[in-house]
Amino acid sequence: MNGTQIELDSLPTTDSIKHEPPILYGAGNWINGFRRAEPRPGYLPTDAPERFYDLRAANAKTANTALARELKGRHLQMIAFGGSIGTGLFVASGGSLYRGGPASLLLSYVLIGGMQYCTMQSLGELCVAFPIAGSFSAFSTRFLDPSWGFAMGWNYCLQWLFVLPLEIIAGAFTIGYWDETIDRSVFVSVFLLTIVAINLFGVKTYGEAEFIFSIIKITAIVGFILLAIVINIAGEPEGHYIGGMYWRNPGAFKNGFKGFCSVLVTSAFSFTGTELIGLAAAETANPRKSLPTAIKQVFWRIMIFYLVALLLVGLLVPSDDSRLVGGDNVADATASPFVIAIEKAGTSLLPGIMNAIILIAVISVGNSAVFGSSRTLAALAEQSHAPHIFAYVDRQGRPLMAILFASCIGLLAFLADVKYHDAIFNWLLSISALSTLFTWGSICLCYIRFRAAWSHNAHTIEQLPFKSNVGVAGAWVALIGYILVLLSQIWIAASPVYAPDIVDGASGVAQNFFLKVLAIPIILLFYICHKVWYRTKIVRLEEMDVETGRRYFRVHIMAEQEREERLGWPKWKSKRRPESDDPCMRHWARPVSISNGGVSQEQETHVYEKYFIHFFLQAFVVQYMGDVHMKAMEASYATILWGVALAVVGFLSHRIIAIALRPHSSRFNGLPRPKGQQPFVGHALRILRGGGPNDVYLQWTRQWPDAPFIRCLSWLNEEILLVNSLEACREVLQTNAYFFAKPGFFHTLVGEFLGLGLLFSVGEQHKRLRRIIAGPLSRPSIRKLFPTFVTYSQKLNREIGEALERSKSGIVEIEDLIIRVTLDIIGVSLLGRELRDFRSESSPLSFEQCYNAILAQPLAGQIISFINPFILLRWLPVSANLNFIRAKSALKTMMEGLIEQRTAEVGAAKLMNEDDKLSDDLLTRMIEASAEESQKLSKEELIDITMQVIAAGHETTASALVWTAYSLAKDPASQQRLRAEIHSLGTEMSAKGIDELPFLDNVIREAMRVHSPTLIIPWEAQKDMTIAGTHIPKGTTVQIVPAMIQLNPEIWGSDADVFRPGRWEDMGGNASSPYAMETFSNGPRMCPGKALALLNMKVLLVGLIRDFEMEIVDDGKEVELRNPSLTLKAKSLIQFKMRKVS
């Protein structure tokens, strides 16, 4: 192929550019967000001749889009769901029922649904491999013919462009249900502005809006199904049993085969929008996991809702009802068969509610119309199929010009008050009336061609991250089906059902024909004009590009990771939910399998559930049927509401009783359980009311010193096993280390800030991450940073000296100084810069300010963070949430920029053999170590690991150092002995010299033993196992409390709670076990930053003790501890009295 060549080897293949919208502060930065996004790698200009189409450039541009990747799995599912449930289901189905009858209506949806299933499977395989802008229109350009891609792109774009004003008009007409005199143009303005505003706020806002709209629509359909069943049985005002009466008269089928064919296109129209999931793939954070889940789940949900709802509509509404649309006016929501069905029940309230739901559905589809048309238009511009101005993507990842253009088309909705607006919109919609069939058929054909090209390029099916369940055969079946539907539509257009009623004479028949099939010549015109102008050819098999924009996956590694994830899933989830990217959903989907007498608690819960559901259903039936009998089958809505209320009370009662019975249905009855639990909160309040975070635990371990585990109850009586022996500790942390994972609640509590990283990874993924960072965080590597530690030790001493000069009493609050200096050391060691000066261009806040904003939240933020693992509250628009989200996003932006900079530096140094010029920080070393691995660390993994080292390292190191100083201040003899040992080094501090201070090691170990900065280490069993003679079922939460081991008199003697560094000199017995100290944990899960923390503490403590004498003010008072807390902290700053050592 001639023309400008683009170096595709330089393009990213594992991930398209991930766009993180900047945090905007102030009007200036807000305006700056509308500027064009920076050019992406691989997005190079081409100087191809005017009439030459550069296919490779088009592929490269769509593969490297600047669109924001902010959609999650739940957004994808609801986008596909919300985009397809609108007037097609709620209104247009009335016309189908009128023309074809209930059986034709149901059968047509089954057939179209089957073809749609094949199409969605094909689209899923393509989009997971190629999550590119434009999706199916871009696939047509790549795998079929650029001219066909041009025609399909504009075909799909025009479809949604003209759907937008139609849906807005439908909304305005729906308002007329309540007041026909109201000015429709007012609500046209309101609806249009609402839709435009949602889309201008970015793709995440669009996703959240569709999520809310779809939840409302799902709730409405479920409510309709329940109500329709009641009405069908005996719910009419006359109390008649309806059953299948209307299938017999006027009949199941109307107008024979022609009536059935007339319904097919309407059925296809109703499914329109499911393919939006393909467009959204380019803006999805993790398409590998989100797309397959959404494709599998959304289709079946739509089919179930459609088929059940339409079956009931066909049972309740006769097909000859004069109120049905009959295909004439899809904007008239008053003719909805759903409203008609509810009106048959004789109530005036519910039809109004149903119309409100239709109004929400109309706005939702209009919202999807702007999204679909703008993304398609932007992709067309990227491929040089549309004016280049529409390729404008701003710094927040929005296709701004395309959105504005689509919004301007929405102004056509103001024709709602024009006399002949119906005729105008009928002609506009006719341009894309068959658009859906062409789009879906093209997807199937692209998939068939892709599979052929995939094999031609020596790839195997096993290399694909997601494979269609129906394969090429299913795509052929769907393609042939769409062709047959298209032919049937041409036939129906030429010889319409009820021709005398719809058209007037020969001219009317001709007009109807062109209205129905005008899309065909329009598409052919687009195709032929583009082909004549650019002289393109059908893309040959050997020329097809199956590399640009493709996500590269190590399928065997992913399969292993998924198998490990499934270890923690219940049976129903492992069969029906093969993927899930939401840790909260994984937590809630996992039942507790604690049993009594061989019957699991889950099974007992089901017994209670069946009992209560049976009881209240029986009460409902008795009450309802008794009312029917006494009032001659005249059902009252009060009875229905009474039955629903009984069912709700029954469900709540079942949950309450199940929770209340948990303490009495445990297979751990042989283990000690403390008394004093309270209903529904177990021992949680007792622990929180203790004098410190460890006080209650220490009482229990001294009460049962020989028990391997102590079982306690947490919130909602959730059972937790506390590790209480060295043997149990060893088996949890060493023998069965990889059969435990962090619990779901802990993941949400800590992981929303710290990410996945090493802390939450499992199995091979954990081993891989540990192997990569082992070198950079090893003791020899950390020792290279010794001069940095010395510099900041001197800085700490200077600041203490200055504070001492200002203090007349000699009291210095060194805790704040230690916390700040420790954070500086962590920042310089890990990132090569002080965190107070580290900031991004898009945020006025420094790294330190954002970090503190997250860790030191106000009371409202702390409450939200605590409740969020159980009830998601992060969506609430309160200042605590907004500040948290801004700070978190700003931190991520800073880290991404720094990692990109360091990665580029490492790459340049390797190329020039100048490794000695690289920054000496640990992040650079981790990137270097990662480069030598077959599977490098991703940007997200580096961010997560770095944030975990910063947070865990800073919090625990600072806490441990403060408590070490506190312990020495209360023990002058040990303080003096340590000072004498330090003075033996002379005036110069060296790494080798510090290693030769045995008493320093003993002081630090003893201080961390008595005052462990780590409070709890929670784990959750991923399979059934036996530990220390106790059977641990899968799903059991096992919690290590270091204080229970480190202050256990059975291990450390009767003075276990006394600070005595000398005990380490003649260590013996159980205390010599490595599992007797759990501050840094043990085994494969040992803290990787242990060497960094210890050297940090040693250097700062040596400088502190060498230059200052310390004692505690008011030594007679016990320090009050903060409870709850992430690490061991005092409620108020500890007061130290300092004196300089002469």
Provide the annotated binding site. Answer: 1087
Are the beta carbons of 90 and 333 closer than 8 angstroms?
A: yes
3-class secondary structure per residue, 672-718: CCCCCCECCCECHHHHHCCCCCCHHHHHHHHHCCCCCEEEEECHHHC
Name the one residue in this structure whose structure tokens are 């889940």. 293
Closest CA to 862 of 875, 887, 882, 881: 881
Q: Which amino acid is at 901?
A: Q
- The span from the CA of 158 to the CA of 372, in Å, is 10
- The span from the CA of 816 to the CA of 1139, in Å, is 18
Closest CA to 307 of 77, 97, 86, 108: 108
Are the beta carbons of 1045 and 729 closer than 8 angstroms?
A: yes
Closest CA to 776 of 787, 785, 766: 785
DSSP-derived 3-state class of residue 1127: strand
Distance, CA of 1128 to chain centre: 32
Closest CA to 443 of 304, 306, 288, 271: 271
- Which residues lie closer than 8 Å to 110 by C-beta, 6 or more apart? 307
H-helix or E-strand spanning residue 186: helix 184-200
**Residues contributing to the annotated binding site for heme:** 1087
Rounded (5°) CA angle 636-642-643: 100
Q: Which amino acid is at 127?
A: C
Helix residue spans in 383-434 (DSSP H):
400-409, 421-430
Are the beta carbons of 769 and 757 closer than 8 angstroms?
A: yes
DSSP-derived 3-state class of residue 544: coil
**Sheet strands side by side (includes 1108-1112):** 811-812, 1136-1140, 1108-1112
Q: Which amino acid is at 685?
A: L
- The span from the CA of 835 to the CA of 842, in Å, is 16
- The span from the CA of 117 to the CA of 128, in Å, is 16
H-helix or E-strand spanning residue 722: strand 719-723
DSSP label of 439: H
Give me the DSSP letters along 219-275: HHHHHHHHHHHHHHHHTSTT----TTHHIIIIIS-SSHHHHHHHHHHHHHHHHTTTT
- The span from the CA of 602 to the CA of 229, in Å, is 31
- Which residues lie closer than 8 Å to 585 by C-beta, 6 or more apart? none
Closest CA to 209 of 225, 187, 194: 194
Token pair recorded at residue 847 = 């790294």
- From the number of C-beta atoms within 10 Å of its C-beta (0-12, 13-18, 19+), residue 749 rates as buried
Q: Specify the length of the chain in residues.
A: 1142
Antiparallel, parallel or unpaired: β 1136-1140 and 1108-1112: antiparallel
